[in-house]
């Protein structure tokens, strides 16, 4: 057995998957075999998730059935509502509320097998987030509407108003873009949980906990604050120079796998541009673009050996803000999408399982003698 150390498991393949493929050198992302650019703009979220769960794009009748299944699983039980009310009253962050809501999501719900369990969990993510947010605002939750698509219903439950087509399309493009992304940290967590023959709710709960950390899913909120500050000052160069001189990292830049611009940044930039040109704050969008140019140039000067370009989080901030998702919900909205990928990976792991159990290299003391209490 090799005792080579692979901190962070960087570059180590530990699973085979048909779900998504990343080429970090060329900046290519395939989801279910389709280029992200195509899936993001052509599919609905339900189609993307169906593709991941079943391996093919749904026919019209398969899609109809799948939509109906998701729509019937949207409602939360009273117990989950009570948890979310308590989480909001205690001022817990949205990711904590989501973790609590997911963990209890199937309590008292009859489900026939892992596939039904996956549909239930995917369907109720937006309801958990929206209910928590409404409680947080001191308002009653808005009941889900079965006639609205997944993305439209999410926006509707947040505000109580039917969203515009442009907002739905913007959000749907985002949800499709981030639905799966190789063996990222939260997806890995989900696969580890299922590899012990544990259940899908446990896998989704662990994945939410993993996504919560700022190195994974927490960057778009800070990106928005940064862009607002730069928009107010009008001087991106000064902002970047000061941040780099202070040894800070620029949020929305850099990636563990991509050595070029993250292809999802391009998809979301186009979606944000489309959205803002149709009636949003176009000047703010231009600030983001100018910031990207300036920051990319200065990062290249600062770190000539490491290409640092925009990652998915940069234009996520612009797009989600534009379509009306509050900044506090950016990371949970990422989860609303990624849960489709997590559970598809969990089912894939389950279908051809091997317990994930790496080893560690011991660097502690050799054979110490246990000291009596009065000698310590």
- Using CB under 6 A as the criterion, which residues of the chain lie in contact with ligand COA when the complex forms? 215, 219, 249-256, 303, 306, 308, 311-313
Q: Is 255 in the active site?
A: yes
Please identify, using beta-carbon distances, which residue of 6 and 306 lies nearer to ligand COA. Answer: 306
Q: Is 8 left (phi over 0), alpha (psi -120 to 50) or beta?
A: left
CB of 61 to ligand COA, least distance (A): 37
Please identify, using beta-carbon distances, which residue of 20 and 349 lies nearer to ligand COA. Answer: 20
CB of 155 to ligand COA, least distance (A): 24
Please, how many CA atoms are within 13 Å of residue 182, restricted to the half-sphere of its CB? Answer: 16
Given the residues 117, 172, 313, 348, select the one marked as catalytic: 313
Residue 201 CB partners (closer than 8 Å, separation 6+): 102, 103, 105, 106, 117, 121
CB of 262 to ligand COA, least distance (A): 7
CB of 141 to ligand COA, least distance (A): 30
Please identify, using beta-carbon distances, which residue of 182 and 254 lies nearer to ligand COA. Answer: 254
Residue 66 CB partners (closer than 8 Å, separation 6+): 46, 49, 50, 58, 119
Q: Is 342 left (phi over 0), alpha (psi -120 to 50) or beta?
A: alpha
Please answer whether residues 154 and 336 qualify as being in contact, where contact means their C-beta atoms are separated by less than 8 angstroms. yes
Question: Angle CA(260)–CA(261)–CA(263) in degrees, nearest 5?
Answer: 115
Given the residues 150, 255, 269, 273, select the one marked as catalytic: 255
Q: Is 313 in the active site?
A: yes
CA atoms of 88 and 136, how far apart (whole Å): 5
CB of 210 to ligand COA, least distance (A): 13
Please identify, using beta-carbon distances, which residue of 240 and 339 lies nearer to ligand COA. Answer: 240
Please identify, using beta-carbon distances, which residue of 46 and 262 lies nearer to ligand COA. Answer: 262
Please answer whether residues 161 and 179 qualify as being in contact, where contact means their C-beta atoms are separated by less than 8 angstroms. no
Among candidate residues 166, 162, 122, 169, the one with its CA nearest the CA of residue 142: 162
Please answer whether residues 194 and 353 qualify as being in contact, where contact means their C-beta atoms are separated by less than 8 angstroms. yes
CB of 248 to ligand COA, least distance (A): 7
Phi, psi of 30 (to 5 degrees): -110, 135
Please report, for the chain, how many H helices and E strands are present, in that order: 16, 3
Shortest-Cβ-distance residue relative to ligand COA:
254
Please identify, using beta-carbon distances, which residue of 80 and 335 lies nearer to ligand COA. Answer: 335
Residues assigned a catalytic role: 255, 313
């Amino acid at each position: 057995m090799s005792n080579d150390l692979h901190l962070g498991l960087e570059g180590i393949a530990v699973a085979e998957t048909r779900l998504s493929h990343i080429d970090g050198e060329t900046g290519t992302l395939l989801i279910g075999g389709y280029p992200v650019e195509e899936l993001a703009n052509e599919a609905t979220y339900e189609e993307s998730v169906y593709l991941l769960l079943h391996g093919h794009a749904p026919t019209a009748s398969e899609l109809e059935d799948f939509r109906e299944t998701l729509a019937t699983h949207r409602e939360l039980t009273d117990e989950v509502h009570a948890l979310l009310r308590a989480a909001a009253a205690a001022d817990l962050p949205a990711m904590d509320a989501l973790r609590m809501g997911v963990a209890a999501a199937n309590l008292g719900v009859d489900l026939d097998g892992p596939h039904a369990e996956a549909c239930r969990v995917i369907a109720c993510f937006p309801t958990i987030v929206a209910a928590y947010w409404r409680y947080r605002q001191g308002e009653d939750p808005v009941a889900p509407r079965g006639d609205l698509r997944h993305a439209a219903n999410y926006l509707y439950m947040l505000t109580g108003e039917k969203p515009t087509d442009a907002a739905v399309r913007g959000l749907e493009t985002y949800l499709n873009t981030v639905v799966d992304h190789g063996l990222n940290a939260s997806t890995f967590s989900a696969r580890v949980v299922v590899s012990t023959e544990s259940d899908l709710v446990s896998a989704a709960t662990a994945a939410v906990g993993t996504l919560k950390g700022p190195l994974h899913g927490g960057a778009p909120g800070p990106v928005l604050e940064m862009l607002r500050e730069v928009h107010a000052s009008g001087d991106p160069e000064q902002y970047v120079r000061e941040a780099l001189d202070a040894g800070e990292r620029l949020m929305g830049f850099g990636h563990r796998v991509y050595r070029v611009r993250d292809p999802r940044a391009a998809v979301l930039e186009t979606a944000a541009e489309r959205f803002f040109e149709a009636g949003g704050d176009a000047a703010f969008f231009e600030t983001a673009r100018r910031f990207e140019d300036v920051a990319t140039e200065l990062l290249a000067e600062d770190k000539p050996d490491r290409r640092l370009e925009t990652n998915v989080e940069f234009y996520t901030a612009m797009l989600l803000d534009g379509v009306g998702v509050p900044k506090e919900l950016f990371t949970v909205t990422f989860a609303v999408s990624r849960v489709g990928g997590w559970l598809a990976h969990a089912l894939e792991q389950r279908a051809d399982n091997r317990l994930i159990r790496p080893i560690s290299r011991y660097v502690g003391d050799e054979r110490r003698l246990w000291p009596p209490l009065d000698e310590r």
